Amino acid sequence: MYGVVLATVLINAVVCDDLLAVVVIYRHGDRTPIQPYPTDPYRNASYWPVGFGQLTNVSYTLLGKMQHYLLGKWLRDRYASFLSPHYSEKDFYLRSTDADRTLMSAEANLAGLYPPHADQIWDPAIPWQPIPIHTMPELEDNLLSMKKNCPKYNLLITQLFKTPYFVNISHKNHDLYAYLTKNSGTLIASLESLEYLYNTMFIETLYNLTLPDWARVVYPSKLKPWADLSFATPCWTQDLARLKTGPLFHEIVEHFTNATKNVTGFLKFRAYSAHDITIANVLNTMGAFQVHGPPYASTIMLELRRGAGEYVNIFYKNSSIVQNITAKGCDFNCKFDDFVSLLRPIVISRDEWNLECQLEWYYYYHLDDLQYVIYASAGLSFVVFTLSIWMVWRCCKRMPKGGVTAYTQLPSDEVA
């Protein structure tokens, strides 16, 4: 797993004179549980203000819709001298995963980022304007939601969990998994399934709901460390990161490259509305993930600047605190060329991703170098042996009985 370099600072606004381009990636706001567990005393929808997995109001705790509205206003203040208050499709682009909570978070965020001004006011009684949000079905999305099926990734993650480190975790948690399975009524046999259960309990305590006695024995102390660790696994290795966040970083690098070249039609500000796992994966890919569950509305900001040359600054806002993020192998003021070089093994276009995700035959057989040599030699020997037999058979077929060559009349021979 990659290393971590973080420094905490308070930042409310930035100097935008040298800014060329910005990428913002944020998690949605407060939501209800996605799917309560079978024995959950609060599995009845009547306990919740909205349906399961939906964005909430709860503005009194600055969560949900209000949380993202305020984040939008914060982004407006931060980039006041860079991003015009007058919305233009030539400056700004926003993409969201195809989930209600991320789409609604994006809408609330835009309400704070782009309140209508002057000729964009279409109804004085409504301080809001419609702004496009781009998305695509989750199961077809290999850019942001990353839920499009990738057989190669599936194989690599399966292999990861068979390594001694993760096998040891499973052994260590055997009794905990069994306890959770018995009491929750659902199979808990992995870090991912444990995190889902932990997240449900977290939301219920956030809403001041009393957990069952069996849950209070293990929540939060015995569950949180493993739930946090689950966020590091999707991009644990470089190969996994390439297939999980490669297309997104391809788009980010292309965006910044266009800014350095001042490409016609370049949009200087791109925003992405996504999930906690997206935040974790992006940080982990850059070698800057401090193991934790990214909170609601946590935000990554990548800023391309021009000084003596182009360089990239990265920030992470996981609460009211904004942290400087230093990508592994680079300074905080990361030269753009170095930034591109560091990501080169990860970056992959969406079309390349589609090809690379397909499993070739050799991925089904886990052979070491010696085994490959042995099998290749055996295969070559078989081909040579088969070819030799065929050549002998052809020669014998042309040989007449008795071994004497027969006379064959040519077309020009005269008949006596």
- Note the pLDDT tens digit of each residue in 103-145: 999 999 999 999 998 999 999 999 999 999 999 999 999 999 9
Return all residues near 269 (Cβ < 8 A) that are at least 6 apart: 21, 22, 24, 79, 82, 83, 91, 92, 93
Q: Which residue, 149, 24, 22, 21, is CA-closest to 95?
A: 24
Catalytic position from the list 228, 239, 276, 292: 276
- What pLDDT, on a 0 to 100 scale, did the predictor assign at position 416? 32
Whole-model pTM: value is 0.84
The radius of gyration of the chain's CA atoms, rounded to the nearest angstrom, is 30
Q: Is 276 a catalytic residue?
A: yes
Cα–Cα distances (Å) from 55 to 107, 209, 244, 410, in that order, read 11, 18, 25, 92
Q: Is 98 a catalytic residue?
A: no
- Note the pLDDT tens digit of each residue in 281-340: 999 999 999 999 999 999 999 999 998 899 999 999 997 889 999 999 999 999 999 999
User: What is the residue extent of each domain of the chain?
Assistant: 6-157+233-356, 160-230, 370-403
* Tokens coding 4: 């971590």
Query: What's the gap between Cα 254 and its chain centre?
Result: 17
Pairwise CA distance, residues 244 & 278, whole Å: 9
Catalytic position from the list 17, 28, 117, 369: 28
Q: Among 3.40.50.10300, 3.40.50.1240, 3.10.180.10, 1.10.150.20, what is the CATH number of 6-157+233-356? A: 3.40.50.1240
Task: Give the single-character DSSP code of 315.
Answer: E
What type of residue is 185?
A: G
CA dihedral 96, 101, 103, 109 (to 10 degrees): -100
Q: Which residue, 43, 332, 351, 91, is CA-closest to 200?
A: 43
Cα–Cα distances (Å) from 340 to 123, 284, 294, 308, in that order, read 45, 16, 25, 17
**Is the separation of the CB atoms in 188 and 195 below 8 Å?**
no
What type of residue is 238?
A: Q
Kindly report which listed range (186-200, 202-216, 386-400) carries the lowest average pLDDT score: 386-400
